[in-house]
């Protein structure tokens, strides 16, 4: 009965019921209390992922925030784009055939043209995430798939400098 009352109150107030937050309809979660700061309009983000669906979803998220999205379907293509198209940020999947995300990140960090680009690594594989957390591959942030829009943009927000450009810490 208490749950039903919470749901009714949430519906009347226009707030969503958030399971796992105690069920209290009047409690706004972090993403509602904190006004997000986006990178400047036109920020260039390179998404390197072998999944066309993931690339499209990320491109939509970035486009809605005014970012320009570059895409690469594998590690080799991503490495070339990172070096020659000079994106402001790279979002890189760990698990790809051929050159995986770990290899791409190592090469980005060794390349004088690309080493200063911030990189967000993403993976749905728990073992890869543990490996990323244990070793210093040079990732600036790590995201566990599936992740929310809030998770992605909060990681980017932490990287922004005074001019709202993503920078390596």
- Write out the chain's pLDDT in tens, 169 residues: 454 455 455 555 444 434 433 433 333 455 556 677 888 899 999 999 999 999 999 999 999 999 999 999 999 999 999 999 999 999 999 999 999 999 999 999 999 989 999 999 998 887 766 766 666 778 899 898 899 999 999 999 999 998 888 988 7
Q: Are residues 71 and 143 in the same domain?
A: yes
Q: Are residues 145 and 84 in the same domain?
A: yes
Q: Are residues 116 and 42 in the same domain?
A: yes
Residue 165 lies in a domain: no
pLDDT for 78: 96
Q: Are residues 134 and 59 in the same domain?
A: yes
pLDDT for 58: 96
Cα 139 to Cα 22, 52, 59, 117, 146, distances in angstroms? 34, 23, 21, 10, 18
Domain containing 133 — which CATH number?
3.40.50.2300
Residue 149 lies in a domain: yes
Q: Are residues 128 and 90 in the same domain?
A: yes
Residue 167 lies in a domain: no
Residue 50 lies in a domain: yes
> Is the distance from CB of 41 to CB of 68 less than 8 angstroms?
no
Q: Are residues 13 and 46 in the same domain?
A: no
Its domain, for residue 28, covers: 2-32
Structural domain count of the chain? 2
- Strands 141-144 and 119-123, by their bridges, are parallel
Q: Are residues 9 and 81 in the same domain?
A: no
Residue 135 lies in a domain: yes
Q: Are residues 48 and 9 in the same domain?
A: no
Q: Are residues 61 and 142 in the same domain?
A: yes
Residue 168 lies in a domain: no
């Amino acid at each position: 009965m208490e749950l039903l009352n919470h749901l009714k109150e949430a519906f009347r107030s226009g707030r969503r019921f958030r399971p796992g937050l105690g069920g209290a309809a009047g409690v706004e979660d972090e993403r509602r209390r904190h006004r997000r700061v986006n990178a400047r309009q036109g920020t260039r983000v390179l998404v390197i992922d072998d999944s066309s669906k993931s690339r499209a979803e990320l491109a939509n998220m970035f486009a809605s925030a005014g970012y320009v999205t570059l895409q690469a379907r594998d590690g080799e293509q991503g490495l070339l784009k990172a070096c020659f198209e000079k994106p402001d940020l790279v979002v890189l999947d760990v698990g790809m055939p051929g050159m995986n995300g770990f290899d791409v990140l190592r090469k980005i960090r060794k390349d004088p043209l690309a080493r200063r680009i911030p990189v967000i690594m993403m993976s749905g594989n728990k073992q890869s995430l543990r490996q990323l957390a244990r070793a210093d591959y040079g990732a600036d942030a790590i995201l566990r798939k599936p992740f929310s829009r809030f998770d992605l943009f909060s990681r980017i927000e932490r990287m922004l400098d005074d001019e709202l450009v993503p920078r390596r810490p």
